[in-house]
Amino acid sequence: MGARRVVLLADLDYFYSQAEELRNPSMRGKPVVVCVYSGRTEESGVVATANYEARKYGVRSGMPIALAKKRLSGADPVFLPVDFPYYKEVSERVIGIMKEYSDQLEQVGLDEAYLDVSNRVEDFAEAEQLAKEIKRRVLQEAGLKLTIGVGPNKIIAKMASDAAKPDGLMVIRPENVEEFISPLPVDKIPGVGKKTAERLERMGIKTIKDLAQFDPVRLVDEFGESLGAHLHAASRGEDEDPVRGRAEAGSMSRIITLKENTKDLKAVLPKVDEICEEIHERAVREGVLFRTIGIIAITSDLGIKTRTKSLPAPTDDLGTLKRESSELVKKFLQSTDKEIRRIGVHISDFTRREKGQRTLSGYI
DNA sequence: TAAGTTAATTCCC
DNA sequence: TTAGGGAATTAACTTA
Ligand SMILES: Nc1ncnc2c1ncn2[C@@H]1O[C@H](COP(=O)(O)OP(=O)(O)OP(=O)(O)O)[C@@H](O)[C@H]1O
Ligand SMILES: [Mg+2]
């Protein structure tokens, strides 16, 4: 029961930029920056990712495009818009190769996958050889570099990969877990983001060593049963979370940036209608019915607000989608004084539309 | 009081 | 100071 595991985390290096270099190899050696343009002004938007040539100049994911341009002036950079369908295609080729190495594969986003190889290897030395083979094959057959972390669980595999990138391989055996994690800052623990790291810092906890020495009862007190226990276990390098395949896509969303911030419902509703039409078209094309409708509003202070409503029955009716989305936006604007910067619509709680299935359409 | 449902948030890529 | 996807937690409410 709960036999010791060998878990591997494979993470493609600077993925979107690397995919672009694959499509156009003449860009290799130059800084390549993949951008999400918002359309508000000519250059508004952020960097999705940048290759390591660009990172040398301090360019990072999430950085405004204008700042990246400034940092790269004179460095002969290439700026490209994101192309999700292409990255998805490239990703599928890579995941296909990895699936040959374990039937326990958990994909995370487009560029990462956990593999539980406990049944395929005898020890960590063998896992290291397997990881080398995966790296070799992904490079030969898909043309991409990646980093692999190997450990006794998902958290350690992930932290090993983070420490080894780019084009790296790091194996952390159980007996080396403590020395590996102790000196690292707490925000290197997967699941500890900005908010949690700030709270820990206020409690005087900066490194994982600090966290390991802290009274677990007080952690649970502070952070609740789940996060408190997770923090304590992680500080000791322990993590039982299994590698498991993820379900098919269960939601669709589309969010846009408005030309100008507004609190005027009449200015937002036409956009909401357009977004609903796009999402509806995709839902019908993919044959899904949705039972939950939501809106996402990013306010001028960049706060993220969501409002959702569950329907009495699944539907794919456009009128219902538009009515409910509009209603949620209207109620949101009535509940606040803030201006809206970005607006989006979200559908979820899918069931597949079976042949000839009918729905309660257009209910009120 | 327990169990299910709904809505909002936090965190991940 | 972006987009689109996912998992998990938690609080509040409903129902049995
Ligand atoms: N803030 C972001 N906004 C939009 N897309 C992002 C953002 N951060 C990461 N991504 C996209 O997700 C992909 C995977 O993210 P990840 O954190 O693995 O970084 P990466 O670009 O692959 O770099 P590396 O893994 O070498 O550090 C990236 O290629 C990237 O383009
Ligand atoms: Mg990556």
Render A194-224 in DSSP notation, one character per residue.
HHHHHHHHHTT--BHHHHHHS-HHHHHHHHH
How many other C-beta atoms can be found within 10 angstroms of the C-beta atom of residue A58? 13
Nucleic strand B under 7 Å from the C-beta of A309:
yes
A210 marked as binding residue: no
Distance from residue A323's CA to nucleotide B7's C1', rounded to whole Å: 19
pTM for the model = 0.94
Q: Is the CB of A19 under 6 A from ligand 1?
A: no
C1' nearest to CA of A244: which nucleotide? C7
Q: Where are the domains of chain A?
A: 7-14+87-178, 16-85, 182-235, 251-363
CATH fold, domain A251-363, is Dna Ligase; domain 1 (3.30.1490)
User: What does the pLDDT profile of chain A (364 residues) look like in tens digits?
Assistant: 457 999 999 999 999 999 999 999 999 999 999 999 999 999 999 999 999 999 999 999 999 999 999 999 999 999 999 999 999 999 999 999 999 999 999 999 999 999 999 999 999 999 999 999 999 999 999 999 999 999 999 999 999 999 999 999 999 999 999 999 999 999 999 989 888 888 899 899 999 999 999 999 888 888 888 888 899 999 999 999 999 887 777 899 999 999 999 999 999 999 999 999 999 999 999 999 999 999 999 999 999 999 999 999 999 999 999 999 999 999 999 999 999 999 999 999 999 887 656 565 554 4
Q: Give the closest residue (by CA) to ligand 1 atom 21.
A: A14
Catalytic residue among A20, A106, A112, A324: A112
Residue A348 β-bridge partners: A251, A292
pLDDT of A276: 96
Distance from residue A295's CA to nucleotide B1's C1', rounded to whole Å: 35
The sign one gets for the Cα dihedral A146, A91, A153, A222 is positive
Q: Give the closest residue (by CA) to ligand 1 atom 6.
A: A48
**ipTM of predicted assembly, 2 dp:** 0.93
To test the pocket of ligand 1, the residue of A14, A22, A61 to mutate (highest count of ligand atoms within 8 Å of its CB) is A61
Compute CA A225 distance to the chain's CA centroid, rounded to the nearest angstrom: 25
Q: Is the CB of A101 under 6 A from ligand 1?
A: no
Nucleic strand B under 7 Å from the C-beta of A306:
yes
What CA–CA distance (Å, rounded) separates A178 from A189?
Answer: 13
C1' nearest to CA of A304: which nucleotide? B9
> Domain spanning A7-14+87-178 has what CATH number?
3.30.70.270
Q: Give the closest residue (by CA) to ligand 1 atom 3.
A: A48
Distances A304 to A35, A87, A251, A297, A333 between C-alpha atoms, Å:
21, 27, 18, 6, 14
Residue A52 alpha carbon, nearest atom of ligand 1: 26
pLDDT of A364: 42
Is the domain covering A182-235 a CATH 1.10.150.20 domain? yes
Is the domain covering A16-85 a CATH 3.10.350.10 domain? no
What CA–CA distance (Å, rounded) separates A91 from A98?
Answer: 11
The answer to whether A233 and A211 have CB atoms below 8 angstroms apart is no
Distance from residue A272's CA to nucleotide B13's C1', rounded to whole Å: 27
A312, exposed or middle or buried, with CB in 10 Å at 0-12, 13-18, 19+?
A: exposed
Tokens matching residue A362 = 């257009």
Q: Is the CB of A48 under 6 A from ligand 1?
A: yes
A112 is catalytic: yes
How many other C-beta atoms can be found within 10 angstroms of the C-beta atom of residue A115? 27
